Amino acid sequence: MEVKEKNKAFFLAGVLLFLLLLQFFFIPTFKKTKKINQRLLKTKKEVCEIEGLKKRYLREKNYLNLTEEKNFSFYSLVEKFAVSCGVKGNIVSLRPVSAPISSNYKSIGIELRLEKLDLKELTRFLTKIENSLHPLSINRLLIEQDRVGLLKATVEIVTIQEIP
């Protein structure tokens, strides 16, 4: 009987040791691992967000650097696009526009009134402006039907310029 009680005591000691290890080692380790994994996921999300902000910053920095190029002439570039799309003869009026953006930059541009255009010419002109490698954008666009098949359009084309 003594052997059975010794075996029972060893068994109970083993179970007690297992429960103590479980309580004071394994469970805290699992909890810490879970917390570390959660922090890792949060950190990965933050890194992705920072990378996105970095890409946006570099894109906008490049955009602003293009406006500072010495050979970039906003008005001549718009005229070149109008000539290449065949809409220069349809320009009725030009009006310069300007608006401050921040303390260091302002928006400059022109408002073009075009008449007697067909949709294909207008689309080609607008696409050329939007797909330009230079920092141009269409700020406002108003299209009206002039006659059957012909259009009138008012287009405001802008760029960003550093205030000296």
- pLDDT tens track for 67-81: 555 556 778 888 888
Domain ranges, residue 5: 1-67
* pLDDT at residue 35 in the model: 94
pLDDT score recorded for residue 155: 92
Specify the length of the chain in residues.
164
- Residues whose CB falls within 8 Å of the CB of residue 126, separated by 6 or more in sequence, listed in order: 138, 141, 155
Residues 148, 149, 154, 155, Cα dihedral to 10°: 170
Amino acid symbol at 101: I
Q: What is the pLDDT of residue 156?
A: 93
Domain count within the chain: 2
Under-50 pLDDT residues of the chain: none
CATH number of the domain where residue 108 is located: 3.30.70.60
Q: What is the pLDDT of residue 52?
A: 93
Same domain flag for 150 and 90? yes
